[in-house]
Structure 1
Amino acid sequence: MINITDKHKCCGCTACVSVCPKDCISMLEDNEGFLYPVVDSVKCIDCSLCEKVCPVLHPLKNESEPLVFAAINNDESIRMQSSSGGIFTLLAEYVIDRGGVVFGACFDRDWNVVHDYTETKEGLAKFRGSKYVQSNVGNSFIQVKTFLDAGREVLFSGTPCQVAGLKNYLRKPYLNLLTVDLVCHGVPSPYIWRKYLQETVCRVYGIKKNKSVVNLCDYISDISFRAKDRGWKKYNVKVIYRNGKVEMMPYFENPYMNVFLSDLSLRQSCYACPAKLHNVQSDITLADFWGVDEVYPDIYDDKGCGLLFIHSKEKLDFLFRMNCRLLHQKLDIVVNYNPNILRSVNEPINRKFFWAVYCSQNLQVSYLITISKFVFMRIIRSIFRCL
Structure 2
Amino acid sequence: MINITDKSKCCGCSACVQRCPKQCIVMQGDEEGFLYPHVDVSLCIDCGACETVCPVINQDEPITPLKVFAAKNSDDEQRLCSSSGGVFIRLAEKTICEGGVVFGARFDKYWGVEHSYAETLEELEPLMRSKYVQSRIGNAYKKAECFLRQGRKVLFVGTACQIAGLRKFLHKDYDNLLAVDVICHGVPSPEIWRTYLEHLKYKTNCKTITSIIFRGKQDQGYEWKNYGFVVKGKDSEGKERTICSEGFMLNIYLKGFLYNLYLRPSCHQCPSKDGKNGSDITLADFWGIESLDSEFADNKGVSIVFVQSEKALKVLRKLQGISVVESTLKDATAWNGLFFTSTPYDPNSQKFWRFYKESHNMKEAVEKALYVPIYRMWSNMARNTFNQYTIGIFYKITYILKSMIKK
TM-score (norm 2): 0.88
Tell me if the contact between 2:183 and 2:339 (Cα under 8 Å) persists in the aligned partners.
yes
Partners of 1:232 and 1:352 in 2: how far apart?
32
For 1:141, the equivalent position in structure 2 comes to 141
Check if 1:227 corresponds to 2:216. Answer: yes
Runs (5+) with no aligned partner, structure 1: 207-217
For 1:129, the equivalent position in structure 2 comes to 129
Partners of 1:248 and 1:78 in 2: how far apart?
21
Check if 1:306 corresponds to 2:306. Answer: no
Deviates more, 1:344-353 or 1:9-18: 344-353
Read off the aligned partner of 2:230 and give its amino acid letter.
Answer: K
Partners of 1:114 and 1:40 in 2: how far apart?
24
Give the alignment partner of residue 245 of structure 1, picking from 212, 222, 241.
241
> After the TM superposition, which segments of 4 or more aligned residues of structure 1 sit over 4 Å from their partners?
376-381
SS in 2 for 1:316: helix
SS in 2 for 1:111: coil
The alpha-carbon deviation at position 378 of structure 1 amounts to: 11
For 1:211, the equivalent position in structure 2 comes to none
Partners of 2:12 and 2:375 in 1: how far apart?
31
SS in 2 for 1:357: helix
Read off the aligned partner of 1:231 and give its amino acid letter.
Answer: E
Read off the aligned partner of 1:288 and give its amino acid letter.
Answer: D
Give the alignment partner of residue 329 of structure 1, picking from 327, 330, 340.
327
TM-score (norm 1): 0.92
Deviations 1:116-144 (A, max 9, x none): 00101111111111000000011101111
For 1:11, the equivalent position in structure 2 comes to 11
Read off the aligned partner of 2:233 and give its amino acid letter.
Answer: Y
Give the alignment partner of residue 314 of structure 2, picking from 313, 317, 337.
317
SS in 1 for 2:135: coil
Runs (5+) with no aligned partner, structure 2: 381-407
The alpha-carbon deviation at position 67 of structure 1 amounts to: 1.0
Tell me if the contact between 1:259 and 1:368 (Cα under 8 Å) persists in the aligned partners.
no
For 1:182, the equivalent position in structure 2 comes to 182
Partners of 1:307 and 1:135 in 2: how far apart?
23
Deviates more, 1:146-155 or 1:315-324: 315-324
For 1:276, the equivalent position in structure 2 comes to 273
Partners of 2:91 and 2:122 in 1: how far apart?
14
Deviates more, 1:15-24 or 1:320-329: 320-329
Partners of 2:52 and 2:106 in 1: how far apart?
29
For 1:261, the equivalent position in structure 2 comes to 258
SS in 1 for 2:240: coil
Check if 1:93 corresponds to 2:89. Answer: no
The alpha-carbon deviation at position 290 of structure 1 amounts to: 1.1
Check if 1:203 corresponds to 2:193. Answer: no
Partners of 1:275 and 1:126 in 2: how far apart?
26
Partners of 2:31 and 2:149 in 1: how far apart?
38
Tell me if the contact between 1:10 and 1:269 (Cα under 8 Å) persists in the aligned partners.
yes
Check if 1:362 corresponds to 2:354. Answer: no
SS in 2 for 1:68: strand
SS in 1 for 2:163: helix
Partners of 1:292 and 1:133 in 2: how far apart?
27
Read off the aligned partner of 2:364 and give its amino acid letter.
Answer: Y
Partners of 2:300 and 2:311 in 1: how far apart?
31
For 1:110, the equivalent position in structure 2 comes to 110
Give the percent of matched residue pairs that are identical in Structure 1 and Structure 2: 44
Partners of 1:49 and 1:301 in 2: how far apart?
48
Change (3 A) 1:174 1:103: same
The alpha-carbon deviation at position 235 of structure 1 amounts to: 0.4
Tell me if the contact between 1:62 and 1:281 (Cα under 8 Å) persists in the aligned partners.
no
CA RMSD of aligned residues (A): 1.8
Partners of 1:75 and 1:175 in 2: how far apart?
29
